Amino acid sequence: MSKSSPQKGVLVVPEFGITKILRGYDDFEDVYQGQGIDNNVIWLSDRKDGKDPQAALAFKKLQAEVDANGGVIPPLGLTSNDTGVNPWLQRGLPVPLGASIVMYLPYAQGYSVSGEAFFNLPLKYIVAWRNRSVSAQGLNRQPYHQAFDGLGQTDDGRLNALTATGAGTHIFSGAATARRVIQAFWEPLRYAQAEPPLTGGPAIEDVWELTFRTAPDVAQTPLPPLFPYLKTLTPAPNPTLGALGQGSLKNNNTFPFYVPVSTKVKGDELLIGVTLDTSNISPGAGFNFDAGAYILSLAFGRAGYITGDPSIATPLVPNRQLGVYVTTGSNP
């Protein structure tokens, strides 16, 4: 409905767009399995490869160069990436700056087992934003607010090589090291300090990066409605459980699976990452998508790590209707 023709009897008609579903890139479980939970976040997007479109183009060019060189990186480095974009730049969801946004976060938790001790691990969501420049609009038809499109600090890929292979040598050279400035920034929390005395200095407001943590106490989970059971020859002695939602968890519809969080859009792109909150266990635990981290794979991936032999095992069936739901309003 347009703003010029409000619905009769409605004072305010908020206009929101179609909901997007953000998930992990295809088979992220193969990459994250066994990696430490403490320092790693699974970033979500609306693309199956999880990459910014320009990054996907850069990666394709670099991979073709590696293939043409017999499957090895030349000693002087790869040169074919002329996009000015990191080939592993995470995809951001284009959003209208300044608009209202509602993020529906899966309300669940994983777990960790240490000896006979069992620990619930709530899901932890990190929200960030990015601004883009005119080149993103020209190539990807994305919104942008940076009038400048200049180059920033170069990147020769030595950090990527170090983390991937253990050898911190450069893998890019020439034009492939150029990087246009694409700033990312956190969702903030402004925390006011105590009121200063009348004779004191100015008031201080600390700014923190904000993380959302869901389901810290499973005992607070809402209970479902009760309904009469089917009429059968042998009447059931008790009522049956109704549903508050459906389709999220197998054979279980007894509680809402999502919690909405609303804020204002603070950039041209939205970034959302998810991991497990390990603050109440000893450091060092790794992702296991067939056990404690299964909920992450269920909600954002292929519903497990081990695919198994299809002839003897049940194939993993991802539920692509699950993920973080994002709905944005119109630009005010």
122-151 per-position pLDDT tens digit? 999 999 999 988 776 666 667 777 777 789
Q: Which helix (H) or strand (E) holds 135?
A: helix 134-140
CB neighbours (10 Å) of residue 291?
13
Predicted TM-score (pTM) of this structure: 0.87
Token readout for 299 is 């909600």
Task: Answer yes or no: is pLDDT of 191 > 50.
Answer: yes
User: Looking at the domain assignment, is residue 169 inside a domain?
Assistant: yes
Q: Would 13 be classed as within a structural domain?
A: no
Do 62 and 142 have their domain in common? no
- Do 172 and 27 lie in one domain? The reply is no
Residue 312 and residue 277 share a domain: yes
Looking at the fold, whether 120 and 80 belong to one and the same domain comes out as: no
- For 264, the 3-state DSSP assignment is strand
Domain assignment of residue 203, yes or no: no
Cα diameter, the chain? 82
**Whether residue 138 sits in one domain with residue 81:** no
List helix spans (H) across 96-243.
Answer: 134-140, 158-165
> Which residue range(s) make up the domain with 71?
51-89+151-180
Q: Please measure the distance between the N-terminal and C-terminal CA atoms of the chain and give it in whole angstroms.
A: 15
Residues 130 and 275 in one domain: yes
Identify the weakest region by mean pLDDT among 39-43, 164-168, 282-286, 325-329: 282-286
Which of these, 189, 212, 50, 47, lies nearest to 127 by C-alpha position? 212
- 317 and 287 in a common domain: yes
Read off the pLDDT band of 193 (50, 70, 90). confident
Same structural domain for residues 24 and 117?
yes
Tally of structural domains, the chain: 2
Q: Are 42 and 73 part of one and the same domain?
A: no
- Do 104 and 173 lie in one domain? The reply is no
Do 189 and 209 form a contact (C-beta atoms < 8 A)? yes
**Closest-CA residue to 270 (of 86, 104, 130):** 130
**Predicted confidence band at 260 (pLDDT cuts at 50, 70, 90)?**
very high
Asked if residue 293 is part of any domain, the answer here is yes
Chain mean pLDDT for the chain: 87
Domain annotation covers residue 200: no
- Does residue 68 sit in the same domain as residue 44? no
- Verify that 303 and 167 share a domain, yes or no: no
| CA–CA gap between residue 299 and residue 308 (Å, rounded) | 20
What pLDDT does residue 26 have?
94
Is 7 part of a structural domain of the chain?
no
Q: Cβ of 49: how many Cβ atoms within 10 Å?
A: 13
Residue 5 pLDDT class (50, 70, 90 cuts):
very low
- Three-state SS at 214: strand
Evaluate whether residue 46 is within a structural domain: yes
Task: Answer whether residue 222 is part of any domain.
Answer: no
